[in-house]
Amino acid sequence: MASVELKSICKSFGSVEVLRDVNLSLEKGEFVVFVGPSGCGKSTLLRLVAGLEDITAGDLYIDGARMNDVLPSKRGISMVFQSYALYPHMNVFENMAFGLEQARLNQAEIKARVAEAAEILQITPLMERKPRQLSGGQRQRVAIGRAITRKPRVFLFDEPLSNLDAALRVDTRLEIAALHKRLSDTTMIYVTHDQVEAMTLADRIVVLNAGQVEQVGRPMDLYAEPASAFVAGFIGSPRMNFVTGATAEKHGAHTLGIRPEHITISRDAGEWSGSIVHIEQLGSDTYVHVKTEEAGIVNARAIGANAFRAGDAVFLTLQSESVHLFNADGLPVGPART
Number of H helices, E strands in the chain: 9, 18
Q: Which residues contact 155 (CB under 8 A, 6 or more apart)?
A: 77, 78, 79, 80, 147, 183, 186, 187, 188, 189
287/283 Cα distance (integer angstroms): 10
The yes or no reply on residue 12 touching ligand ATP (CB under 6 A) is no
Q: Who contacts 107 (Cβ-Cβ below 8 Å, separation ≥6)? A: none
The DSSP code sequence of 237-293 is SSPPEEEESHHHHHTTSSEEEE-GGGEEEESS--SEEEEEEEEEE-SSEEEEEEEET
191 binds another protein (CB under 8 A): no
The whole-angstrom separation of Cα 202 and Cα 199 is 6
The answer to whether 82 contacts another protein (rule: CB under 8 A) is yes
CA dist., res. 10 & res. 38, Å (int): 18
Q: Binding pattern to ligand ATP, positions 76-105, x when CB under 6 A?
A: ------------------------------
**43 scored as a contact of Mg ion (CB under 5 A):** yes
Answer for which of 4, 6, 9, 18 binds ligand ATP (CB under 6 A) is 18
- Residue 150 site contact among Mg ion, another protein, ligand ATP, none (CB < 5 to 8 Å, cut-off depends on kind): another protein
Q: Can residue 192 be called a binding residue for Mg ion (CB under 5 A)?
A: no
* Site membership for Mg ion, residue 3 (CB under 5 A): no
- Decide: is 106 part of the binding site for ligand ATP (CB under 6 A): no
CB of 82 to another protein, least distance (A): 8
Shortest Å, Cβ 57 to another protein: 21
Per CB under 6 A, residues contacting ligand ATP are: 13, 16, 18, 36, 38-44, 193
Per CB under 5 A, residues contacting Mg ion are: 43
Per CB under 8 A, residues contacting another protein are: 50, 52, 71-74, 77-79, 81-89, 98-99, 102-103, 130-136, 139, 146, 150, 163
